[in-house]
Structure 1
Amino acid sequence: MKNNLQDTHQQPINLTQEEQSAYDFLSANHPLWAEQFTKVLLTARDLITKRLVVSIYRENMVNQAHTSQILNAEEVPFALVSPTQKVMKMDWPASDQSLYAPISGFHAFDRIDMQGPFYFVSLSDSNHVQRIMHPEEVLDVILKEAPQYKGPASQQFSDDMMNSAANMALALSYQATALKDDTQSMLEIIEQASDSYLRSEQAVIEGHPLHPGAKLRKGLTPEMNIRYSSEFQHKQALKWIAVHNDLVRTQTLEHTYNDTLFNAFEGLKTAFDQAVPNDAKDAFSIIILHPWQYDEILHRDYQDEINQGLILDIDYDTTYYAGLSFRTLVPKLPQTTPHVKLSTNVHITGEIRTLSEQTTFNGPLVTHIVNRILTHDALFKDIKASTIPETAGIHFYNANDQGEYQTERSEQLGSLLRENVYHLTEDNTINIIPSSFVSVNPNEGTAVVNTLITRFKAAQNFDTFESTALSWLSDYAQALVDLVVPLMVKYGIALEAHLQNAVASFNLDGSFNHIFIRDFEGLRIDEAQLNQLGYSTAHFHEKSRILTDKSVSVFNKAFYSTIQNHLGEMILTVAQHTEDSAAFENSLWNEVKRITQAKFQQMHEDKEIDNERLSRIEQVFFDQTIDYKCVTTMRLEDEAHEYTYVKVDNPLSPN
């Protein structure tokens, strides 16, 4: 008879240092929240473990994609519940362990989704079964099997998972407390908020769907995490300083830099005039600071400039809120001032989230080029997709600083202004970040994207959810492909159009209206290709990482973010809402394939596109296998900026 796992194999929960710190803070300040924290702790740990285990298989770490076995649940040597009745078995001989992971679904790009709890069984004694209590236990067996990964990078990765698990528990327990008696769908909660777009950013509780560092907030205490992270919905007071023009570099889309800010923020000019001496008003420019950066970094690293009167405080009161991207802050309706992307010395997801010089300098330059292309090229006429302009950027720059010291100081003080999305959207629309498509109210259980489709079904009298979803997703995918693919193929501009870098706009009946792609920091530009089409990049920042001569890097950036991440997560979530999810997921990918094939056919008729280049990209786009970015391997190999890829099956392949 098989063992009952719930009774036999769960170990006592010993809090990590990060978890203890969070629990102590909650106990002292929010007792009911603290109670929820202990209830969700194992769930939070399992969510981080899941990301790690899925990565092991998908990235073929330690050859596990080739050696792992997929078993029927009844073949497992103990009682284990699996939604699909399938279980992944990974052997780790160096640790005398097999890892058993319940499989929740089989998806495109060789993705096998799994769900906790996860278990270790001794290879030498199948009666020795232990529930995996923390993702750290899985990392331990990886490092024992592959000691080449041991080192500073793996230690940092371990710290990352400790931090992520604690922060996941904070977020889940906050949601459980805040929505305790709310049984509405998450879409209804978002729609009924005074600012649906902002509320959708705050609804993304679990973070990156694949990254084991999904909730990373290293460098923050629990109190700071709660104060500054989007899911906790707290007001933020932006900080404003005037910095002497000898110590800044600026860039704007139009107007002068200070005038751009004065036009955007009512009363800022008065505050600036009060802070800066009358005879020096033309000698200073304004930098917006994240409140954490102001409190923790400004006086620590720039005290000499402050003492010399080269950095001055501006007393200007502005209430903003954190977006899903920790360092991007936005106002709440009815206020429609710009969104601001700011520098923070906080380790989030994969790296310290300061603001590179190229980001603040190049944003308006990229905006100008993309705006001109979208306005003048017939390929982009009447499409339901556009980009969100980056209107002004600034960063600290002291010519006397040298090397890494100069780079660090420049990246710690900087700000980038982005057009407020409500200046671009139509009235009577619901505007949400696509990352929230997978979000649910745990008391109700339906993902935002599926509620939208169900609403569209009722409005249009479709017969089934499946037929509705096919039509709905076709409109959405068409808009994404219309923008991203021709920009990449013709101009060599690869937008990083993943779920977090977009705002999707829907009509009140759930139908698709428009999609806006934002954030040019992570895009890639094939410099020679763009130059060949008549757009100079000579005026871009001299440290521009976005400019490359590697066409493969440009292709992968566009394909991964748009097809694999953006459409991939949507399609997976929609398919899971149906009875025959595998077959329906395949039909959704066939529709994406049809749309992209038609787009390539349209581009073949464009005489300005080099046919050899077009055919080469087309062949890769529809090849049997495609590159997949290895988010976990990159962390263990300490290659944050040099992407690692494996080949996975491509659902767009006609074969």
Structure 2
Amino acid sequence: MHRPSSAEAEIAEELAAVRPDLVSRYAAELPGARAAVLTRLWRALVHEPLPWVVRRESGAALLLADGRRLEGPYADPYAVDGRVTAVRLGSVAYDDPARLMTDLAVPHGPAFAVELGDSVASLALSRADQDSALRAPVNSWEWEQRVVDGHPFHPNCRSRPGFSVAEQLAYGPEHRPVVRLALVAADDCAVRGEWPEWLWDGGRPLIPVHPWQAEHVLRLPSSGGLSAHPLMSLRSLALPDGGPHLKTALSARLTSSVRDISPYSIQTAATVSAFMESMAARLDGLLHITRTLGAVSADSPDLAAVLREAPDLYADSGAGEHVVPVGSLAATGLPQSPFWLAEFTRLALSVGLRLLDLGVALEAHGQNLLVVLSATGDPLRLVYRDLADIRVSPVRLARHGIATPALTGRIVTDDEITLRRKLFGSLVAGALGATAGSEAALRESLETAVPGLPRTPDLQALLEQSLPTKALTLMRLSPDTPGDLWTQLPNPLGEVKRGGG
């Protein structure tokens, strides 16, 4: 019999106090949650350049530096269905990713094992609190709240350290709460764009603050309040009645990153937004950018907020159109056929590659990228939000006679590897891979979509080189190494490179 981990036991104990009606459902969801996290971990162990894996053998067997063998099933790079229920380290089988990481005994493994245990327990809690009788989503934030399992490929898909069970239920989008944001009046603020009149207190801007941030980090007096619906990222929220979206600072580590808002992002917000609106106008109506309306910071990444348009503005509701975040497509079963997936793939690659050729690399993962669907479910055009992590190439812009915006810092680069990694890793290995859900389905959609695309140097690189993706587990096991670390997945495109376009 499986012995519950400390995280599993702690959540069960808290749940018994705050939601006793969920205790039995939570226990029933634990095995599936372990398999979901183990699937993501096994994918990483097979495909990432971990320094203590010295050889990868056919049949998904890994030889470790200490001589042990780690064996498991074929690790499909794009599978998100929890198909890996056990792997074997030496003669011992493991169904618990946290115990496996503990017994691997690798550098920084114990801390990562704790995070894996948290991810399993929180995922089981998220799955336990689902209602099969929910009405069909009407707007984009309701689609987002149908994403229960979190990041499709990160083993920390639901890790929420520092959040009690009550706080997860109160703030997690998959639990469908209404969150009451604090409003903090701050002096000496940096304000960019147009901060709305209703968010001022005399001469001081009111900064919406996530209640977890207000309680655990800032411990500041607040006035007023603002109700909102949490989105997929947890720290971003939709205001009621089709209002704009708010991105708040949340100084907690979710998956890999601490979700604060850097002063750099605030300073560049208006410039980047105006520039990207002009770039989207070059794409024949296939891409819309949710404009940044205003941004404010009290000179601290812990006390800042960004206000941007709701993506629903870019759907014609009268014609039955609706906007769906790409990250929710697989979670809600929307891709209904290989033909649909191929059409969506063609649309996404057309937009991403055209923009990259012009000089902008989007971080087009399933959270930032949304698709406008017709009344019959056909993919029509894309919406992109959250411009903080795009990359802009002055050399490429100049090649097309486009003026470079007045930007400096990390967003500006002409490095070809960096630009292609940004787009290919987020869009192909990320959004398209997770939507397809398997290597075979992704290959089929690409084989249909790619031959009709313009044969740019970037497409040629995508066809001929391995597919870059962030080495998410290596990053968690390398806490002293700043920035992103990368790995290469086998090229899923098969014989497409022989086709024309």
2:248 paired with 1:248: no
Partner of 1:448: 334
Q: Which has the higher helix share?
A: 1
Q: Which runs of 5+ in 2 are unaligned?
A: none
CA distance in 2 between counterparts of 1:371 and 1:66 reads 47
Partner of 1:417: 307
2:297 to 370, 374, 395: 395
Give 3-state SS (helix, strand or coil) of 1:548's partner. Answer: coil
Partner of 1:135: 97
2:236 paired with 1:348: no
Q: CA deviation at 1:325?
A: 0.5
Partner of 1:369: 275
Partner of 1:55: 44
In structure 2, relative to structure 1, the CA distance for the partners of 1:36 and 1:480 (3 Å cut) is same
Do the aligned residues in 1 keep the contact of 2:47 with 2:489 (CA within 8 Å)? no
Match runs of 1:165-180 below 5 Å: 165-175=120-130, 178-179=131-132
Q: Percent identity?
A: 18
Partner of 2:347: 479
CA distance in 2 between counterparts of 1:370 and 1:342 reads 22
CA distance in 1 between counterparts of 2:36 and 2:20 reads 24
Give 3-state SS (helix, strand or coil) of 1:321's partner. Answer: strand
String of CA shifts for 1:402-443, please: whole Å, max 9, x gaps: xxxxxxxx1000000110122221112232211112215xxx
Q: CA deviation at 1:26?
A: 1.4
String of CA shifts for 1:97-131, please: whole Å, max 9, x gaps: 54333x4x8567xx8987232043645xxxxxx44
Q: CA deviation at 1:630?
A: 1.4
In structure 2, relative to structure 1, the CA distance for the partners of 1:592 and 1:138 (3 Å cut) is farther
CA distance in 2 between counterparts of 1:14 and 1:473 reads 41
1:117 to 72, 78, 85: 85
Q: CA deviation at 1:514?
A: 2.5
String of CA shifts for 1:591-615, please: whole Å, max 9, x gaps: 23213xx333xxxxxxxxxxxxx64
Match runs of 1:198-597 below 5 Å: 198-244=141-187, 247-252=188-193, 257-258=194-195, 261-262=196-197, 268=198, 272=200, 276=201, 281=202, 283-299=203-219, 313-315=222-224, 317-332=225-240, 335-375=241-281, 377=282, 380-381=283-284, 383-397=285-299, 410-427=300-317, 428-440=320-332, 447-450=333-336, 453=337, 469-470=338-339, 472-491=340-359, 493-530=360-397, 533-538=401-406, 540=407, 544-572=409-437, 582=440, 585-595=442-452
String of CA shifts for 1:554-599, please: whole Å, max 9, x gaps: 11101111122112222336x8xxxxxx4x654322123213xx33
Q: CA deviation at 1:626?
A: 3.4
Give 3-state SS (helix, strand or coil) of 1:54's partner. Answer: helix
Do the aligned residues in 2 keep the contact of 1:526 with 1:551 (CA within 8 Å)? no
String of CA shifts for 1:285-318, please: whole Å, max 9, x gaps: 231111221222223xxx6xx7xxxxxx442x43
String of CA shifts for 1:35-61, please: whole Å, max 9, x gaps: 111112122122111111111112253
Give 3-state SS (helix, strand or coil) of 1:415's partner. Answer: strand
Q: What is the root-mean-square deviation of aligned Cα atoms in Å?
A: 2.8
Do the aligned residues in 2 keep the contact of 1:385 with 1:483 (CA within 8 Å)? yes
Q: CA deviation at 1:640?
A: 5.2
Give 3-state SS (helix, strand or coil) of 1:622's partner. Answer: helix
Q: How high is the TM-score relative to the length of structure 2? A: 0.90
String of CA shifts for 1:236-278, please: whole Å, max 9, x gaps: 112212222xx211211xxxx33xx12xxxxx26xx4xxx4xx
Q: CA deviation at 1:624?
A: 4.1
String of CA shifts for 1:168-207, please: whole Å, max 9, x gaps: 11112112xx23xx4xxxxxx56x24x3422211111111
Do the aligned residues in 1 keep the contact of 2:26 with 2:125 (CA within 8 Å)? yes
Give 3-state SS (helix, strand or coil) of 1:341's partner. Answer: strand
Q: Structure 2 counterpart of 1:99, which letter?
A: E
Do the aligned residues in 2 keep the contact of 1:367 with 1:390 (CA within 8 Å)? yes
Structure with higher Rg: it is 1
In structure 2, relative to structure 1, the CA distance for the partners of 1:623 and 1:435 (3 Å cut) is same
Q: How high is the TM-score relative to the length of structure 1? A: 0.70
CA distance in 2 between counterparts of 1:39 and 1:328 reads 30
Do the aligned residues in 2 keep the contact of 1:49 with 1:138 (CA within 8 Å)? no
String of CA shifts for 1:19-48, please: whole Å, max 9, x gaps: 222111211232231111111212212211
CA distance in 2 between counterparts of 1:69 and 1:347 reads 36
In structure 2, relative to structure 1, the CA distance for the partners of 1:642 and 1:422 (3 Å cut) is closer
Do the aligned residues in 2 keep the contact of 1:59 with 1:65 (CA within 8 Å)? no
Give 3-state SS (helix, strand or coil) of 2:185's partner. Answer: strand
Q: Structure 2 counterpart of 1:599, which letter?
A: P
Do the aligned residues in 1 keep the contact of 2:38 with 2:82 (CA within 8 Å)? no
Partner of 1:622: 463
In structure 2, relative to structure 1, the CA distance for the partners of 1:53 and 1:423 (3 Å cut) is same
CA distance in 2 between counterparts of 1:65 and 1:436 reads 37
In structure 2, relative to structure 1, the CA distance for the partners of 1:508 and 1:640 (3 Å cut) is farther
Give 3-state SS (helix, strand or coil) of 2:251's partner. Answer: coil
Q: Which runs of 5+ in 1 are unaligned?
A: 1-11, 71-87, 124-129, 183-188, 263-267, 307-312, 398-409, 441-446, 454-468, 576-581, 601-613
Q: Structure 2 counterpart of 1:135, which letter?
A: P
